[in-house]
């Protein structure tokens, strides 16, 4: 107990807690976090959520168009999802390159993605893979970022993935 949770406390150990929910707050509230969150929300509102969403979809469609033409070894699992999230796997000679290896390879090219089960443990059983790679396009990304991802995926092979470790 401490900080903002108690209403009274004395050296004899007598403690009176504040009423719920304040009695569960043991410390000063993160004022800077609240102010930062307000600034971030104002920034998002200035750009406009609809504009952000349209831009996310434009980035994703740019990826999908290039992937269809240039990445026959990449399987995309969510081309119709109405978000900037692109979930995929890479195959080499018909065999799946482990998603974490693809993520490490892309990281070596300065591209940050997520790999694994993405908190959806049963999905892998459903699509019969141990996980996927996920790129998340957002308003701070550019079309050049998407081009870099596509170009890197062209080079993603078993050999190139192993080369980053050795």
Catalytic positions are 119
Name the one residue in this structure whose structure tokens are 């750009």.
47
CB 137 within 8 A of CB 63: yes
Calculate the dihedral angle through the C-alpha atoms of 128, 129, 131, 136, rounding to the nearest 10 degrees.
-80
Burial class (CB in 10 A: 0-12, 13-18, 19+), 67: buried
């Amino acid at each position: 107990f401490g900080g903002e949770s108690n209403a009274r406390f004395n050296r004899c150990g007598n403690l009176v807690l504040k009423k719920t929910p304040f009695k569960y707050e043991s410390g000063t509230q993160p004022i800077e976090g609240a102010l930062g969150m307000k600034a971030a929300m104002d920034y998002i509102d200035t750009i406009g959520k609809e504009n952000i969403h349209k831009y996310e979809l434009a980035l994703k469609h740019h990826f999908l168009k290039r992937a269809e033409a240039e990445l026959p070894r990449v399987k995309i699992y969510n081309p119709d999802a109405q978000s900037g999230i692109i979930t995929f796997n890479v195959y080499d000679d018909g065999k799946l390159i482990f998603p974490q290896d693809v993520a490490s390879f892309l990281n070596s090219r300065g591209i940050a993605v997520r790999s694994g089960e993405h908190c959806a443990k049963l999905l892998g059983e459903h699509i019969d893979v141990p996980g996927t790679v996920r790129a998340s396009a957002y308003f701070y990304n550019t079309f050049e970022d998407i081009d870099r991802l596509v170009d890197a995926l062209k080079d993603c092979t078993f050999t190139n993935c192993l080369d980053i470790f050795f």
